[in-house]
Structure 1
């Protein structure tokens, strides 16, 4: 069924050819995961997505990265913000709060793409006089009909006038992106659950439980277009990698991110990532408190829960 001229969905609406990346904020078309959406009611929608069977960043050792869950949710919420809530495409979206609980068994990659369905219910939508919108959503993610994850997200959208005032000297994405600090050395990839150095977002500092944020702005998955600040998805990846480093030598997977985004992380200043050590419980689960500090101030905090990698079936 085609989308009507207002952009609102009907049953089984597919994203119009050529507009996918714009609606989900991805410049590289192959990184857009959302395929269609259905309007259930004014507050609830079902969004369909596909996960590729192979991907250089999101699939390793036969498993999907937990970050793919949060990226799918991010894309779905961006889509619905524009198509269901009439938020213009030039508004800037930013997360304030995210809790995402993941079933690790659902992260196994197969020989064919995985079908993902998100049931998204908006529990609050508050519109401000000058155009900003504050939204809260509950997400239930299914993979082939089986629960994969649940999430609660609070985010804000700002019109250009307000966003530019908030960002001040950093408002121009091209200029802010160009001021990124030189790329630093990575932590050994296996220590943070990675196989390639290019995918590591932490640099060792010589201090236990502390790293600096490593930003490879040429990474076409994490940075597929210029940003005026470090994206929240990169910060979540950093939190996950820090938690896996704390779990070593045990092989673990991140199964919960409980995160608050307090301020923007800039490209032109060092950002420290710290983790509080945590002893695993009798099941091998551990809760690691991860904090990002920039210019001496907390930028985000995330409680990351890890558990042992499930055995192969």
Structure 2
């Protein structure tokens, strides 16, 4: 481990970047989708994690700018939360979970500049801000995190996660699916062209225009779900997964910002994102995102408010902050 990262490391230089943690503790199926290399507990109860982002990846390296995708570090931090919970905070592997809230803020975009020769590596420190245990199979926790890259603060994270007993989760999902309206087989609309959302690969585009009309001051988009995608659907899900939805929020925010003239290009970095989920999105039915520009700063940063909708109900809400990349 380099001197620049030792300041955020636990005692005895415990972290290594030599291999990944087991897939199961990161809630991933494929080795290539695991971005957590190691973990260790600090003397004050904090958990430290070594993160490494691959330079060659079908999703996270699908970009045209010389900066690593800030969402890729947020994904590593999401995986890191599970590693911390399972390895160091007493939550058994295999319990169903819901990530009810996930927020991150980028502290320094220069931390994400691609050297062109090495993967992005960082140290993540998690602190348990609040915890409630109700029996062996139910835990609710608030985690606060900080990512350092090259010894500089790169990102802060704040998340609420709930783990449930398997029987309780199964009963919840049976109830929710029983309320799913019957309807005709659903065919999603065409996805946007990749250049509209700052991508190169069409497979990584997850939204298109919605068949429903947009409201005044608010755009509406339909999610385009491809369950064969190797990263978004690394393993089977019984609902549309959160990382896929948040990527849809990002893409909807980019299209909305450029269509309204708030931004002149979709080549922008996400420097802030907050999401709060109240229910699951179901497969094989229209799942929509609404987006509206909330603020444009003097420096050109655009804040977009987003929402997730299905069957006439709002399932999630959030905000996405887009910032022009340095040098553009």
TM range (shorter): 0.7 to 0.9
Tell me what 2:224 maps to.
214
**What is the TM-score normalised by the length of structure 2?**
0.83
| CA deviations over 1:139-163 (Å, ceiling 9, x no partner) | 0001121111001111101121111
1:256 aligns with 2:272: yes
Cα deviation, residue 89, structure 1 = 1.2
1:119 aligns with 2:125: yes
Match of 2:318 among 291, 297, 302: 302
1:22 aligns with 2:32: no
Tell me what 1:107 maps to.
112
Q: How many residues align?
A: 296
Structure 1, unmatched stretches of 5+, are 1-9, 172-179
Cα deviation, residue 28, structure 1 = 0.8
Structure 1 counterpart SS, 2:79:
helix
Structure 2, unmatched stretches of 5+, are 1-11, 178-184, 259-263
Matches within 5 A, 1:146-295: 146-168=152-174, 182=187, 184-205=189-210, 207-208=213-214, 209-248=219-258, 249-250=264-265, 251-295=267-311
Match of 2:82 among 78, 88, 95: 78
Given that 1:96 and 1:260 are in contact with CA atoms closer than 8 Å, whether structure 2 keeps it comes out as: yes
Given that 2:137 and 2:164 are in contact with CA atoms closer than 8 Å, whether structure 1 keeps it comes out as: yes
Q: Distance in 2 between matches of 1:100 and 1:247?
A: 20
Over aligned residue pairs, what C-alpha RMSD do you find?
2.4
1:58 aligns with 2:63: no
Cα distance change, pair 181–93 in 1 and its aligned pair in 2 (3 A):
farther
Deviates more, 1:61-70 or 1:111-120: 61-70
Deviates more, 1:155-164 or 1:271-280: 271-280
Cα deviation, residue 12, structure 1 = 2.2
Cα deviation, residue 281, structure 1 = 1.8
**What is the TM-score normalised by the length of structure 1?**
0.87
Cα distance change, pair 98–259 in 1 and its aligned pair in 2 (3 A):
same
Tell me what 1:135 maps to.
141
| CA deviations over 1:255-274 (Å, ceiling 9, x no partner) | 10111111111112211111
Cα deviation, residue 14, structure 1 = 6.3
Tell me what 1:98 maps to.
102
Structure 2 counterpart SS, 1:54:
coil
Cα distance change, pair 19–104 in 1 and its aligned pair in 2 (3 A):
closer
Given that 2:138 and 2:165 are in contact with CA atoms closer than 8 Å, whether structure 1 keeps it comes out as: yes
Cα deviation, residue 13, structure 1 = 6.2
